[in-house]
Structure 1
Amino acid sequence: MQQRPLGRSGLAVTRLGLGTMTWGRDTDPDDAAAQLKLFLDAGGTLVDTADVYGDGDAEAVIGSLLDHLVPRDEVVIATKAGLGHAGYRRRDSSRGHLLRTLDASLRRLGTDYVDLWQLHGSDPHTPMEETLSALDHAVSSGRVRYVGVSNFAGWQTAQYATWQRSYPGRAPIVATQVEYSLLERGIEREVMPAASALGIGILPWSPLGRGVLTGKYRNGRPLDSRAATDHLAPFVQPYLEPRSSSIVEAVVTAAAGLGVEPLEVALAWIRDRPGVAAPILGARTAGQLQGALLSEDLTLPSEIALALDDVSAITMGYPEREGLTGPGTGHSPEPGAY
């Protein structure tokens, strides 16, 4: 599997990452082991998790598998922190909470450092300076190699990254993990330009549109799908609407013409978007992961990539359009631009 630098950092990651959101919950340890082995055998290195996935069980599963399957220095472990539990889930990026959860993550993962530590969301109640000082301390103490953000708006991404770049010795923001797919291209308005300007690599989560771009929902909701479960049905529902259906049909048509599966087309498209380092694959089973890994060998013909750009294009209004075309030009960018 090919590797890419993560933004303008020295950290190299494979251009597909393995997500573990369902590990310890919908994916049992045996299935998780099969997925990890399949991913590693394909040359993958980036394994993404979070302290709240399965209430910590996902990290524990990863930790239990690492010793048996791969040397620690041959895998890139990314985890997240910043979601707290106080009777309900809330965002907590206070210094105390972040450093406590980092120590707990390291214990569960069975390692003394993580390669990439990401803020799981912005916390409006904690001063940015306090949050970022915790990231700096984590790096300077050797427990974290690189830091990033997740689910941040464009202005927040730029604000945090610029603060870190403003003084020598601070840990730079090198990654932003955000939802991005043919069905959700909102990050192209502000996040992608900010990331490009500041040397931040993009890690798309849900690159298959929460599973919808596989085409599995074209004729209903399979009983073994996420949309058929009580806890994940609301997650899938937003993309079971007419606009998404038209994009899915375009992907299916492209896949038929290329002799591949729809998910390969959707993953190849997102993988090769500007600034993208590695889409995060959130497979539930090893069989699903196997199909997704086939996309590594697919490069979309330019005419198909452009057709998918057009059918899934989002509206660029003021002021985003001005940033893309220059003030006073009076015209919109090409469909799918940026």
Structure 2
Amino acid sequence: MKHRTVGSSGLRVSRLGLGTGEWGRGVDGDDAAAQVTAFVDAGGTLVDASASYGDGRAVRVLAEIVDDVVPRGDLVLSIDSGVSRPDTSGHWTVDCSRRALLADLDRTLRELGTDHLDLWSVGAWDPQTPLGEVAATLEHAVSSGRVRYAGVRGFTAWQLATVSASVDITAAQAEYSLLARGAEDELFPAADHHGVGVLAVSALAGGVLTGKYRDGVPADSRGADDHRRHALAPFLGEDSGKVVEAVLTAADGLGTSPLAVALAWARDRPGVASVVVGTRDIGQLTGVLAAEDVALPSAITSALDDVSS
């Protein structure tokens, strides 16, 4: 697998990253270990997690893999802090105060049995915490050696630009796909200006771009889950259907999967350092890894650009 530097930093990551959002929920420890092993064997390095995934279960599953299954040195660990799982009303709790961030960081390091994270990100913009405090906390984490590089997740362009004026930000994680190109308008230019690399997430738009919802909602899909279907709603309209059909046509012409086409498109956009994809089993991961060998011809890229703009 090819690797890239993140923004203008020296941090190198695999251009496909392994997400852990389902770990400890739909993916057990054995499945996770098998995925990480296959991912690393394919040349992957970037493993992305969050203290909020599965109410902390994802990090605990990862802790059973680091060093016991895969050497710590083979992984680029990217983890965020400052966000807690939704409450019963569906609202996320955001606390990016110095106290909360550092407590979360120290807990994560203890659980993983490591002395540092390669990339540590603020999980969300916190309007209740002064920006100077957030920036100073990131700087302290790096200067203390507990963190190698600092990042942000879900920030808008102006938020990224504001925090970048106070601390060196290496990566910005953002939703980005053929069905969600809003980041191109302002976030990508801001990231480029400040030397920040973009880690693209949800590049398959919740699986919609694979064509699995083309003829309805499969019973075993996240679209059939009452707690998740709202996230897919924006991707299931008539306009989105045209994009999905274009992806399916491109995949058929190239002799590959729609998944590979959608990932290759996002992966090769200017400014994208890596595309982070979560998989539920080794079969899904195999399909993701196959995208590494797909290079979209310029004519197909242009056609996908046009239909999704």
TM-score interval (norm. to shorter): over 0.9
Aligned to 2:231: 235
Structure 2: tracts of 5 or more residues without a match: none
* CA distance in structure 1 between the aligned counterparts of 2:211 and 2:205, rounded to whole angstroms: 10
Larger radius of gyration: 1
* CA distance in structure 2 between the aligned counterparts of 1:110 and 1:25, rounded to whole angstroms: 22
| 2:190 maps to which of 187, 191, 194 | 194
- The AA in structure 2 aligned to 1:232 is R
Structure 2 vs 1, CA of residues 86 and 226 (structure 1 numbering), >3 Å: closer, same or farther?
Answer: closer
Per-residue deviation, 1:142: 0.9
Aligned to 2:24: 24
* CA distance in structure 2 between the aligned counterparts of 1:133 and 1:85, rounded to whole angstroms: 25
Aligned to 1:139: 142
Alignment partner of 1:64 is 2:64: yes
The number of residue pairs the alignment matches comes to 306
Q: Secondary structure at the match of 2:4?
A: strand
Alignment partner of 1:7 is 2:7: yes
Aligned to 1:42: 42
* CA distance in structure 2 between the aligned counterparts of 1:183 and 1:149, rounded to whole angstroms: 22
* CA distance in structure 2 between the aligned counterparts of 1:25 and 1:225, rounded to whole angstroms: 14
Per-residue deviation, 1:218: 0.4
Per-residue deviation, 1:110: 1.9
Alignment partner of 1:92 is 2:118: no
Q: Secondary structure at the match of 1:39?
A: helix
Per-residue deviation, 1:185: 0.2
Q: Secondary structure at the match of 2:67?
A: helix
Alignment partner of 1:161 is 2:164: yes
- The AA in structure 2 aligned to 1:181 is S
Cα displacement string for residues 120-176 of structure 1 (whole angstroms, at most 9, x for unaligned residues)? 110001000001111111111111100000100000011111222xxxxxxx10100
Q: Secondary structure at the match of 2:177?
A: coil
* CA distance in structure 2 between the aligned counterparts of 1:79 and 1:151, rounded to whole angstroms: 14
Q: Secondary structure at the match of 1:204?
A: strand
- The AA in structure 1 aligned to 2:112 is L
* CA distance in structure 1 between the aligned counterparts of 2:307 and 2:85, rounded to whole angstroms: 41
Per-residue deviation, 1:84: 4.0
* CA distance in structure 2 between the aligned counterparts of 1:117 and 1:50, rounded to whole angstroms: 10
Q: Is the 8 A contact 2:51 2:84 kept in 1?
A: no
* CA distance in structure 2 between the aligned counterparts of 1:134 and 1:147, rounded to whole angstroms: 10
Cα displacement string for residues 194-243 of structure 1 (whole angstroms, at most 9, x for unaligned residues)? 01111100001101111111111101111221111222222222211111
Length-normalised TM-score, structure 1:
0.88
What's the C-alpha RMSD, in Å, of the aligned pairs? 1.2
Aligned counterparts, 1:1-338, within 5 A: 1-84=1-84, 89-164=92-167, 172-313=168-309
Structure 2 vs 1, CA of residues 85 and 41 (structure 1 numbering), >3 Å: closer, same or farther?
Answer: closer
Cα displacement string for residues 258-300 of structure 1 (whole angstroms, at most 9, x for unaligned residues)? 0000010001100000000000011122111110110100110
* CA distance in structure 2 between the aligned counterparts of 1:9 and 1:66, rounded to whole angstroms: 25
- The AA in structure 1 aligned to 2:275 is P
Q: Is the 8 A contact 1:17 1:47 kept in 2?
A: yes
Higher alpha-carbon deviation: 86-95 or 211-220:
86-95
Per-residue deviation, 1:28: 1.4
* CA distance in structure 2 between the aligned counterparts of 1:54 and 1:177, rounded to whole angstroms: 19
Higher alpha-carbon deviation: 227-236 or 56-65:
227-236
* CA distance in structure 2 between the aligned counterparts of 1:2 and 1:132, rounded to whole angstroms: 32
Q: Secondary structure at the match of 1:4?
A: strand
Q: Secondary structure at the match of 2:160?
A: helix
**Quick one: percent identity of the two aligned structures?**
54
- The AA in structure 1 aligned to 2:226 is D
Higher alpha-carbon deviation: 280-289 or 47-56:
280-289
- The AA in structure 1 aligned to 2:63 is G
Length-normalised TM-score, structure 2:
0.96
Q: Is the 8 A contact 1:64 1:110 kept in 2?
A: no
* CA distance in structure 1 between the aligned counterparts of 2:65 and 2:284, rounded to whole angstroms: 20
Per-residue deviation, 1:85: 6.7
- The AA in structure 2 aligned to 1:136 is E
Cα displacement string for residues 92-114 of structure 1 (whole angstroms, at most 9, x for unaligned residues)? 11000000000111122221110
Structure 2 vs 1, CA of residues 205 and 110 (structure 1 numbering), >3 Å: closer, same or farther?
Answer: same
